[in-house]
Amino acid sequence: MIKEFESASPEMLRTTLEEQGFFVFEIKKKPLQFLWEKGISRRKVDSKSLLTFNQEFLVLIKAGLPIIQALDTVLERSGQGLLYEILRQVREDVKGGMALSDSLERHPRAFPHLYVASIRAGERTGDLPLTIRRYIAFLKRVEEVRKKFLAALVYPAILVTVATVAITFLLVYVVPTFSQIFADAGSQLPLATKILITFSTALKRYFLAITALLILGVVLVRRWAATESGRYRVDSLKIWLPFLGEIFSKFAVTSFTRTLATVIGSGIPIVESLKMSVGTLNNVVLERKLLEAVIKVEEGTSLSAAIESVRIMPPLALRMLGVGESTGSLEEMLADIAEYFEGEIDARLHLLTTAIEPFIMIFMGVVIGAIIITMYLPIFKIAGAVGG
């Protein structure tokens, strides 16, 4: 009997099936396997699965179970999935004498560098539950901020989509109907109506071609944005955008400060913590600025002075950072800075969602009203001539 299973590799699949009691005679690749493998290799373990695993793992470790037994218990209770296939391999590595952090580091698509470093710090200090607890709190907070950010963009995106569909429907279907009526009547059309009908006719005739070009354009832009120069320009644009640029910048700095607080709290030295946290900015422009600050910290400059020199934080956040350094409470102050930025982001997003709804509605009303009036101009002209 032939069964189909999804796995990151044939070897991992064989190990998983044998542990479940199957006798595996042969594993055959699916047709066009090279395409499928490419897709699998790009897959990442989602934050929710990683959070669930860490919560279960923390409870078992705190109960006094050895790491191998804790992993066995998690795997016995869990279902199928990419994360748990990888965890089975991690368990085998640990059984073979490898440190947990070293085994996790072999799977960068599943376990972020920050997580691996936190586990390694817990192994060094002998307090693994504390570092896992810190990482769980970090994951929850980051996910909460991300959900707020995405939720704030959902409603404006729906409004823009509805407005685009409505206007396209008018131009592609309604306007040509009126133009046929005017053509049959043989009336002289005003210039504005002629322009609108010409545009609408071209849009209807080449609608599929225009749609295909738009899709192709999006694909090409995304490929270009994935290059080093393209990503730099896109990230520069994100920061430069009016109103939205400040939101993107603060969101990036929030991720950085919260990550840095988590790493420092795990007992990792400041320079190493900074280097690990740079990638959480998710913006090449800001990352380059921050790397300049890291170099200055390595040379002996204080963290607050180094970050002030690259101008990625407002004065209030820099003062808070300086106080945290001078009082020895840098971790707590970084968390407070993250909270401060999150409050700023919430306020900006609330203002954005409050203002964008009437703006889109007004824009949609103006465009649709202009189309309707333009199409009725010949009727008004005929009515005026008859009345005269």
Helix residue ranges, H only, 108-190: 113-125, 128-169, 175-185
Sign of the torsion formed by the C-alpha atoms of 289, 295, 296 and 298 = positive
**pLDDT score of 194:** 84
In the CATH hierarchy, which top-level class contains the domain 47-137? mainly alpha
Q: Could you tell me if 149 and 345 are in contact, meaning their C-beta atoms sit under 8 angstroms apart?
A: yes
Phi-psi region of 282 (alpha: psi -120 to 50; beta: other; left: phi over 0): left
pLDDT of residue 29: 58
* Residue-range domain boundaries for the chain: 10-41, 47-137, 244-340
Q: Which fold has domain 244-340?
A: Receptor-associated Protein (1.20.81)
Per-residue pLDDT of the chain (388 residues; tens, 9 = 90+): 455 554 445 555 566 555 555 666 666 655 444 443 444 444 567 778 888 888 888 888 888 888 888 888 888 876 567 788 888 888 888 888 888 888 888 888 788 877 887 787 778 777 788 878 888 887 887 788 778 777 777 877 888 888 888 888 888 888 888 777 777 666 677 888 888 888 888 888 888 898 899 999 999 998 998 888 888 898 898 888 887 888 888 888 888 888 888 778 777 788 888 887 887 787 888 888 889 999 999 888 888 899 888 888 888 888 988 898 888 888 889 888 888 888 888 888 788 778 777 888 888 888 888 888 888 877 776 665 554 4
Q: CB–CB of 100/94 below 8 Å?
A: yes
Dist CA 306 CA 342 (whole Å): 23
Cα–Cα separations (whole angstroms), residue 56 to 51, 52, 75, 377:
9, 6, 10, 70
Fold match between domain 47-137 and domain 244-340: yes
What gap in Å lies between CA 227 and CA 244, rounded to an integer? 23
Helix locations, 266-283, DSSP H = 270-277
Q: What is the DSSP letter of 26?
A: -
C-alpha pair distances (Å), 344 with each of 106, 163, 303, 310: 38, 30, 23, 21
- Region label for 126, one of left (φ > 0), alpha (ψ between -120 and 50) or beta (otherwise): left
| Measured distance CA(378)–CA(355) in Å, rounded | 36
CA separation, residue 290 to residues 55, 274, 331 (Å): 32, 9, 18
Taking the C-alpha atoms of residue 31 and residue 288, their distance in angstroms, rounded to an integer, is 44
In contact, 274 and 266? CB cutoff 8 Å: no
Distance between CA atoms of residues 257 and 303, nearest Å = 12
DSSP 126: T
